[in-house]
Amino acid sequence: MSTDTPSVKVWDPFVRVFHWSLIVLFGIAWWSGENHDMERHKQAGYAIFALVVFRVFWGFAGSRTARFAQFLKGPGAVMAYLKTHDGETPSDGHNPLGGWSVAALLAVILTITLAGLFAVDVDGIESGPLADWVSFDSGRVASEWHEAVFKAALAVIGLHILAIGYYQVLNAHNLIGPMITGRRDRGKNEVGGEAVEDVKWSPVMALIGIAGVGALTWAVMSGFKFG
């Protein structure tokens, strides 16, 4: 696409589907857990597990702005961003601070789902598909982690929402629209003073990721019991 067009594609469809699907599924998992609807809770958990694992894969094989190498920067880069960024110049994907927010969110959500896979309730009636691979006491520890890290996830999500609100309201920097459409206005200045090109992604890598994550999720749901 020509760089003189008024908008640029900054998010590929997989990042956007991940983002909005995670919001819905996390809400379903929360609601079903509070209402003791364990079947729906497990189904939401499996879907979240698949989403997060694919997002990790896509962080290495996906489009430019989806890759961890693009948005996970060292402390020096984060401090420089905080000191110099005016909040008005568009970022090419996640900024250095937002990138670590995304990493923290992925970490806590993945921890919750992994703990849930091994969790056992106090009566030993409800359990995750991998609970047979650990002792009852270990399953109880996993259950406690499942609940404790959930609270940490709420804190991380809260900070994520506050940051979006800060850019959206105080800096008039629209972050929600591009995550829906995949595009943002170029603005007066591009990142680093250079025009940013549309992101590109590989359909082959996407299919590999989807197939691999689907197979892994099915294996996890069956407790790795194939007989």
CA 12 to chain CA centroid, nearest Å: 14
Q: What are the sequence ranges of the domains in the chain?
A: 7-221
Phi and psi at residue 136, in whole multiples of 5°?
Answer: -60, -45
pLDDT confidence bin for 2, thresholds 50/70/90: very low
- The tens digit of pLDDT for each residue in 38-81 reads 999 999 999 999 999 999 999 999 999 999 999 898 988 888 87
pLDDT (tens digit per residue) in 116-139: 999 998 887 889 999 999 999 999
- pLDDT at position 81: 77
The radius of gyration of the chain from alpha carbons, rounded to an integer in Å, stands at: 20
CATH second-level architecture of 7-221?
Up-down Bundle (1.20)
